[in-house]
Chain A
Amino acid sequence: MPNPRGPDHQQEFEEFAHARAAQLYRSAWLLCGSHYQAEDLVQETLAKVYARWRRPFGRIDNPAAYAQTTLTRTFLGGKRRRSDGEQPYADVPDQAVADPATGASVRLALLQLMAELPPPDRVVLVLRYLEDLSIDEVADRMGISAGAVRNRSMRALGRIRGLADDSLRIGKD
């Protein structure tokens, strides 16, 4: 009987993790707004995937989707548990929005805008516009209704669209 934690499965997981880590990190970076928190979130996510990798029960059919869902829920779970008023975006310069003349400024402005959104709204935006998921898929990943996803998406987009317009205009200049 093959060992469910044997070297083959270890290698299989490592290949998966190497392939997915960068994309997970990008999502995490948008959600958390800082490099270190994003790294921590990705590691925690992959650790959860690792712990379930090739278990006899609860086999993961779609590891990429499972990892993305795990990342989302780990992020939201962490936010729910956090009651110390953590300010993960304290290092974002206040004046970033005022000067969107460079890519770096746009990034900082985006992080600042994202930081001002409630965590579930951030997740909706990341899943919709970075992971390119449909509303139904986002609803499924987050465990909420499609209507709730639409509402959150609409509300959050109102904050982001201005920056999107600016950044695209800059790109054309």
Chain B
Amino acid sequence: MYDDNTTDSDGQVSTLFHDTTTHLEPDVAVLVRGSIERGQVRRRRNAIGTAAAAAVAVAGIVGAAVNLTPNLGGAGFDPAGAPAGTAVSTPSAASNPSTAPTPSAAPAKTAKPPTKPTKNGPLGGAVADIPVKAADLPGLFTQLHPGKVTPAEARTGRIIDNGKESQYAHFLWNGFSTSVGFAAYAGTPVGRCNALQEANGAALSLTCTKRPDGTVLMTWRSVGSAKQPGVCQSASLLTKDGYEIAILSYNTALKFGPMLAPEPPFSIAQLTTAVTSKVWF
């Protein structure tokens, strides 16, 4: 038990400590019950503490996406409530450009400065260069879903090239805010998704689905409040080699802007098809 410096005197102290405490019998049931109650409070507090990152982290486009996309991470954000998006084979009629107001129709609230990812290299798992550039992402997206692409709000940064770490594009697709990201992440696909689910699952109906090829599909949906309306849904593919391809589709053009349609133009099923496409590689 002890090291080579143990003495008889040490043994006496040990005996004293054991003899003195051996009779102590706390009410274990009370201790355990109290611990669980406190632990549950801690978990809730932790979840709230990560909520801001959560809204974005879910998509893996941590930091950037939340600040440049409508309705995520804002005060009053209410992720609960709305039914899951229904899968449709084509974008809804609401995505028609003629029905969408111009982005400048509603004033944008001042957003917090974007939490930009560091530029010190990849986040972890991926070691190779990201195979696409941020500036190419809107064009690649329209190969999958033809439509009119126009610049998003300037505050979004629109095109963010973080080298090996991440590539983000934020644009309007037929007037609807859309974000596409390709980022490196650390860890395994399952671990990554589980961690995000742990932090955000309850708030964003986040689901993780392991695919036969070892990748993980992560989907989530969030619904804004009456004060800050909007619906966002997203699909992300977490690849085995440490990449995360994410697409977020909104039913608004601006943060806190008016809803252009009841639902985003792309269903989760369509977003899933898009993120699992080979077009990105």
Q: A-side interface residues toward B, CB under 8 Å?
A: 1, 4-5, 10, 13-14, 17-18, 21-22, 25-26, 29-30, 35, 38-39, 42-51, 53, 55-57, 103, 106-107, 110, 125-126, 128-130, 132-136, 150, 157, 160-161, 163-165, 167-168, 171
Complex Cα distance, B159 from A164, in Å, reads: 72
Which of B2, B16, B32 touches A132 (beta carbons < 8 Å)? B2
Is B26 among interface residues, defined by CB-CB distance under 8 A?
yes
Known: A42-B26, A50-B42, A57-B187. A157 touches B10 (CB 8 A): yes
Chain A at the B interface: mostly helix, strand, loop or mixed? helix
Known: A29-B24, A57-B187, A57-B191. A130 touches B17 (CB 8 A): yes
For chains A and B in complex, what number of residue pairs have CB atoms within 8 angstroms?
152
Residues of A within 8 A of B208 (CB): 1
Q: Are A51 and B46 in contact (CB-based, < 8 A)? A: yes
- Which of B33-41, B111-119, B177-185, B266-274 touches A? B33-41
Chain B nearest CB, measured from A163 CB (Å): 7
Is B93 among interface residues, defined by CB-CB distance under 8 A?
no
List residues of B (227-255) whose CB comes within 8 Å of A's CBs: none
Q: B-side interface residues toward A, CB under 8 Å?
A: 1-3, 5, 9-10, 12-26, 28-32, 34-43, 46, 187, 190-191, 194-195, 198, 208, 210
Residues of B within 8 A of A134 (CB): 1-3
Q: Are A22 and B39 in contact (CB-based, < 8 A)? A: no
Residues of B within 8 A of A164 (CB): 9, 12-13, 15-16
Q: Are B2 and A43 in contact (CB-based, < 8 A)? A: no
* Identity of the chain A residue whose Cβ is nearest the Cβ of B25 in the assembled complex: A22
Residues of A within 8 A of B15 (CB): 164, 168
Residues of B within 8 A of A18 (CB): 28-29, 32
